[in-house]
Structure 1
């Protein structure tokens, strides 16, 4: 869709409970709306960040009962903005599986949930510095991609580790996404090494805006996240970037016509070819 869009990425350092998470992020969303943003995006784990399994189990709620989710839906309606809750850590609701869902929620300006996406790729890694993560132990991965309509164009939904899977982003773009959200809680070592490079690569490959609100700093559960929330244009240019890991609001204006121009210049999304598999 043609025209300009005022957005804001909210960078947070989310606490370990939903009420504290809401208290932390709500003033930043108000600041974003007061600055003119029509679409506000928050990071992965907006409601709570708690990787210690026993403590997380004690504070976990279902989506329809989570204090932060309910509060943010009301806030979107009050402010008259579209809001992407980059993700909320909530009960998955799957019988026989007590793991959580890591779920993006797109909220319209009336406070209604118009799209949901559960993180497809869970973060199971052993980092060179000795850090070890097994997100699959506490999070049930999703089983489908998601593209949602907004007043400004289609939005592709991803979460954090998904950024390392180019084929997902390609499918989102081929499904009409002109914007792709990458809410994240990137670790500090991988963020320093890979964050901006991956974001720019996905934007170049898809000819889409990549919108990446991030967690930043040292959290209550001991993890340290990278911050550096970033907006990348469809030609791969960094439009706006936070150069730190402190909580903040990052504003940007998107020229939605730039998507069509980038895709016309390099129409690689239409150039797929079948080929024999590697043997």
Structure 2
């Protein structure tokens, strides 16, 4: 199955961001991609954290969700819609939700980001818990014979989430992200390849990549990684469709030659 990580440099304007996503999804479909994933916050990179509240949607209905469903139908694609804000039960909070649609435009999965990012090096400060409400449940779904596990950005630092997704084993792990330039430069590639190797899975990592209008700079380096930890395709910065073939035979060969998943004891 040909899969693609779509890289964007999102703005504070939802309409512009959706137009970018539409263009990249069409490009992916034209390349023969069957499953395409957008990055975290593909729909909005606001000037303030609270900007997410203004565009938050009800679960299952809203302009952004309707857009993604329509794009899936139009192109006959499996689409993993990066993340979008979905209203939480707690007032003044939203869930950072990663949803998936099948080629008929039907939503088949929703995962709410479990681990909320916080960082303070004296110059950069982030605290997602100011606006976000954390999820609590790992989510995987089936697509064309593939078991696909969902995660988001900061989740990448918590291997126990991916071990939970491996019961039963996934074939593909998806990590939409908006890693900062600082943390991404240090750890993004390292962590992605580790998750691929330890779980003997393909990894699809669509990221925000570039300097945003709100002044933030994201690391990018959207990529596709095979179960041996080899990077099959990567784009450093800027808008891009990062596509590669995910071959079941590669997964099977790695798991047969080095049956680490069968050797687990904990």
Matching residue of 1:181: 174
In structure 2, distance between residues paired with 1:189 and 1:121: 19
* Post-superposition CA distance 1:218-277 (Å, at most 9, x none): 2233221111101110011111111x2101111111111221221222222233335xxx
Distance in 1, matches of 2:184 and 2:165, equals 23
Unaligned runs of 5+ in 2: none
Deviation at 1:54, TM superposition (A): 4.0
Cα RMSD (Å): 1.6
Where in structure 2 are the equivalents of 1:20-99 lying within 5 Å?
Answer: 20-50=16-46, 52-92=48-88, 94=89, 96-99=90-93
**Structure 1 portions without partners, runs of 5+:** 275-279
Partner of 2:117: 123
Q: 1:7 aligns with which of 3, 8, 11?
A: 3
Distance 1:265 1:191, change over 3 A: same
Structure-2 residue corresponding to 1:154? 147
**Deviation by residue 1:189-231 (Cα, 9 ceiling, x = unmatched):** 1111111111101100000001001011122332211111011
Alpha-carbon shift at residue 63 of structure 1 (Å) = 4.1
Deviations 1:19-78 (A, max 9, x none): 232112111110110111111111111221226144333333334443222112101101
Equivalent in the alignment of 1:267? 259
2:234: which partner in 1? 241
Work out the CA distance in 1 between the residues paired with 2:142 and 2:136. Answer: 20
Deviation at 1:176, TM superposition (A): 2.2
Distance 2:167 2:190 in 1: 22
Q: How far apart are the structure 1 equivalents of 2:49 and 2:115?
A: 19
Range 198-207 or range 19-28, more displaced: 19-28
Cα distance in structure 1, aligned partners of 2:51 and 2:42: 17
Residues 199-238 of structure 1 mapped to structure 2, 5 A cutoff: 199-238=192-231
Q: Bigger shift: 147-156 or 59-68?
A: 59-68
Between stretches 12-21 and 153-162, larger displacement belongs to 12-21
**Partner residue in 2 for 1:277:** none
* Equivalent in 98, 103, 114 of residue 109 of structure 1: 103
TM-score in terms of structure 1 length? 0.90
Residues 66, 90 of structure 1: 8 Å contact kept: no
Q: Whole-Å Cα distance in 1 between the matches of residues 112 and 47 of structure 2?
A: 17
CA distance in 1, matches of 2:54, 2:208: 22
**Count of residue correspondences:** 266
For 2:113 and 2:257, how far apart are their aligned partners in 1?
32
Aligned to 2:129: 136
User: Does the CA contact (< 8 Å) of 1:18 and 1:67 recur in 2?
Assistant: no
64-73 vs 100-109, which moves further: 64-73
